[in-house]
Amino acid sequence: MSALAPLTDPLTGTCLCGAVQITVTAVHPEVDICHCTMCQRWGGAFYAGVKGADVSVSGDDAVAVYRSSAWAERAFCKQCGSNLWYCFLPTGSRSFLAGLFDLPPGFGIEQQIFIDEKPDWYDLAQTSPMKTGAATIAEAKAAGFTFE
């Protein structure tokens, strides 16, 4: 975790068609990156998410949720197909696709997980901690989460 201060102003993001709007306060000024094969299938390449507090979602009717594993749900807009968020079910915590928001300049990368599943054709230039899938899962298990 970083000691960077959260953003003071709430951020509102929207899907491609505008049917779903998501407002998040105290947004952490770094994105989390996941290179796992599931995220690649879902979004075409890596997942980049932001997180914060006091989330409100409008346009619930347009939101579809896909249970992608025993421990996670992924939401998308039924009208335009934009991916919206990833929810880690053991904690209920959600992260939201960074691209939904007009993020202010200066965002960093908190970490890159499942780096061992990243394809060869891209690399992210910004220096950031990198963890393999095994290391990521071991860390979550050490924190008390199970993945069965």
Site residues (CB under 5 A) for Zn ion?
A: 15, 17, 19, 34, 36, 39, 77, 79-80
Buried b (16+ CB within 10 A) or exposed e, 20-46: bebbbeebbbbbbbbbbebbbebbeeb
Q: How far is the CB of 54 from Zn ion (least distance, A)?
A: 22
Q: How far is the CB of 104 from Zn ion (least distance, A)?
A: 23
- The gap between the terminal CA atoms of the chain, to the nearest Å, is 26
Residue 52: other Cβ atoms inside 10 A: 19
| Nearer residue to Zn ion within complex by CB, 7 or 96 | 96
| Nearer residue to Zn ion within complex by CB, 6 or 93 | 93
- Residue located via tokens 């932001």: 50
| Nearer residue to Zn ion within complex by CB, 7 or 20 | 20
Q: How far is the CB of 1 from Zn ion (least distance, A)?
A: 19
